[in-house]
Structure 1
Amino acid sequence: MRVSLRSLAAAVLLAFAVAVSAPVLAQQPSSVNPTASSVKEQQLLEALRAGTPGTGTTLSGRITIPDQRAANLIQPQGQAWRVFHQGTMHWVGGIAILGMLAVLVAFYLFRGRIMIHKGPAGIRILRFTTFERLVHWMTAGCFLVLALTGLNITFGKYLLLPLFGEGGFHAVASLGKYAHNYLAWPFMLGLVFMFLVWVVHNIPNSIDMEWLKQGGGLLKPGVHPPAKKFNAGQKGIFWAVIIGGGLLSVSGFFLIFPATADGVLALQFWNIVHGLVAVLLIAIMIAHIYIGSVGMEGAADAMTSGEVDLNWAKEHHSLWVQEEASKGRINPGALGQPAE
């Protein structure tokens, strides 16, 4: 009997507890969001704009490790860098590269291929030595890989990812990363050799102004302004490669070794420099490749066999031909053949 009374009492107490707690439980959410009351990024940015005391240029927290830079929670400049990298950079790169391609197509339709005006003379003269061609192709080959792998960083997830899928794109991007980092070094070495070998021929002078006034002879058939070993257009290409390549080398060094840069702000700056200079130099190189291949008859010979046709040399580099003849490097009898 006593056991029955205890059981009855326990049942009554349990029922009372359930009845009291039911309204409370009904008021509780079905799920709990542990981050519901956490501070959002937008709130932190608004605090920065409001000039929260002690924030400086970043919103900082408290840390116990020696590296005080680790206390930075939000760097406002990073927002501007992200907008540039994911928006403006795409527009600049697209306009520069696609724009140059459009200009070259229009130029080809308007002018056609630039032919040797009097036809080949059948006499060849040395324009570039084996060492000069080796330096050119080493630098050019590295630049081509660097350009493609660099463009993949900017445009790859929009162009290649849908084609290759995540796995394939990851493999391509990973391989490109290693190629980009390692081929940067022979590219920089090539820049040094190119500067040492050709800088003496690329100092601007008054002859270049006349070449520019006549459009380099590119617009009108039969017009051939005088030029030495490198004309004004080629000098422009040379200095674009040296200056642009130098900026790519310096900025790329900091990106490969970020600890050598002066903090995150410096890295963001060099990243922007690297991207802008790269797409502009790629556009310039597209024009250079066009003129040096399909755009002009006989031009490709200079960097393949190293020898060019005498009439081609007379038309595009008449002063250089005279210099070579004065040094005894051209048969005097060959000079009697007119180039025009």
Structure 2
Amino acid sequence: MLNTSLNKSLKMLFTLLMLVVGMSLVMPNAYAADDQSSKQQAAKTSDADLWRAVKAGESGYSTDIGLDANVLINKTGNEGKVIRNTYLKPAIVVAIFGVFGAFLVFFLVNGPSKLSHGFSGKMVERWKKADLWLHWIMAIACLTLMLTGVFIMLGRHFIAPYVGEDFWAGIIAASKFIHDWSGPIFIVSWLICVIKWMPLQTFKLYDLKWFLVVGGYINFGPFKGKHPDSGFANAGEKMWFWTLVIFGLFISITGLMLVLPNLDLPREASIAALLVHGISAVILIAFTIVHIWMATVLSEGGMECMVSGYCDENWAIQHHNLWYDELKANNAIKYQN
């Protein structure tokens, strides 16, 4: 009996010992698995936080000494790209086709502004030869910048899909080269034009009436035949001049910021310059189209002023009467020989 009880006790003790040993082997593994799972979860959370911070533009550490070397992903650059693609590119399309289309419709409905008394045949000096050279140098540089700028901004959408990769690479490389080297020509000629022509471009009280009757260009309704007073430059020309002054300044400064190699600008400054450059370009493109329409087909005899420097006397009387009266009063009219 005693042996039987002892045997049972030893069996229970052995079973208990095996249970303890088994638990000692299983529990660490379970804890290790839990610990590994916790570490993996923490790693995932840490990675998410890291990339969230990187995408937000937070800076880290780099041995590079560049201005933005510690920033892996620049948030401003991405936001600037979105603004350019969402707003600037469509605005350029509207500036080109919208403004051109609106004036085409106006021309087809209204026709040109004809001279009430026809051409007199007597040509009055309006611009000096130096002014003509200055105007055309700036005009050609400006149009070249606009054309190449449109290729750079929109070419990948309207040209690249329809030509080979090599041909497109040549177009964009040539556009960039011509754009960069036309810039200094525009800036210098623009600055000379501003200094030389600014005294002729001050707004007067009578310019308000020019806007109210749309410059006398309407050939129907109550505006027909209304030719408002105007000095050497009419109100529309003055508005174009000051638009060119203001946005020409913006586009010149930002253009230099973008192309000068030695400027170590923050990424934010570069993106701001790019956006201001684009906005200024949109406005200048729209006003340039208006200027070309007004100076050519919408004004009978107007284009001759910038070809020869002389205008027909009846054109001067109808479109710039105050300037003509001043010349006549001072006996300063110079006729073409």
TM-score category, normalised to shorter length:
0.7 to 0.9
User: TM-score, normalising length from structure 1?
Assistant: 0.79
Letter in 1 for 2:317: K
Aligned 8 A contact 1:117 1:221 in 2: no
**What is the Cα deviation at residue 331 of structure 1?**
7.6
Shift of the 45–146 alpha-carbon distance from structure 1 to 2, 3 Å rule, reads: farther
- Is there any run of 5+ residues in structure 1 with no aligned partner, and where? 1-36, 50-56, 333-340
Residues 91-130 of structure 1 deviation map (CA, whole Å, 9 limit, x = unaligned) = 2212222220121012112211111111001111001110
Letter in 2 for 1:271: L
Shift of the 72–47 alpha-carbon distance from structure 1 to 2, 3 Å rule, reads: closer
Shift of the 58–328 alpha-carbon distance from structure 1 to 2, 3 Å rule, reads: same
Letter in 1 for 2:52: E
Which residue matches 1:295?
A: 298
Residues 210-230 of structure 1 deviation map (CA, whole Å, 9 limit, x = unaligned) = 222222111244211110000
Residues 121-170 of structure 1 deviation map (CA, whole Å, 9 limit, x = unaligned) = 11110011100011100000001110010011111011111233211111
Which residue matches 2:212?
A: 213
Q: How does 1:227-242 map to 2 (within 5 A)?
A: 227-242=230-245
In 1: Cα distance, 2:308 partner to 2:324 partner: 18
Give the one of 273, 276, 280 matched to 1:277. 280
Which residue matches 1:70?
A: 69
Deviates more, 1:98-107 or 1:256-265: 256-265
Shift of the 311–165 alpha-carbon distance from structure 1 to 2, 3 Å rule, reads: same
Which residue matches 1:116?
A: 115
Aligned 8 A contact 1:150 1:180 in 2: yes
Letter in 2 for 1:105: L
1:324 aligns with 2:323: no
Aligned pairs, how many?
288
Give the one of 48, 52, 55 matched to 1:46. 52
User: TM-score, normalising length from structure 2?
Assistant: 0.80
Q: How does 1:1-340 map to 2 (within 5 A)?
A: 46-47=52-53, 58-67=57-66, 69-219=68-218, 220-257=223-260, 259-260=262-263, 262-330=265-333
Residues 70-98 of structure 1 deviation map (CA, whole Å, 9 limit, x = unaligned) = 12111222221111122222222122222
Shift of the 281–38 alpha-carbon distance from structure 1 to 2, 3 Å rule, reads: farther
Letter in 1 for 2:122: I
Residues 272-306 of structure 1 deviation map (CA, whole Å, 9 limit, x = unaligned) = 00011101111110111111111211000010011
Secondary structure at the aligned position of 2:164 is classed as: helix
Which residue matches 1:3?
A: none
In 2: Cα distance, 1:127 partner to 1:171 partner: 43
Larger Rg: 2
Aligned 8 A contact 2:250 2:276 in 1: yes
Query: C-alpha root-mean-square deviation of aligned residues, in Å?
Result: 2.3
Aligned 8 A contact 1:258 1:267 in 2: no
- Is there any run of 5+ residues in structure 2 with no aligned partner, and where? 1-42
Secondary structure at the aligned position of 2:229 is classed as: coil
In 1: Cα distance, 2:73 partner to 2:271 partner: 14
Quote the sequence identity (%). 29
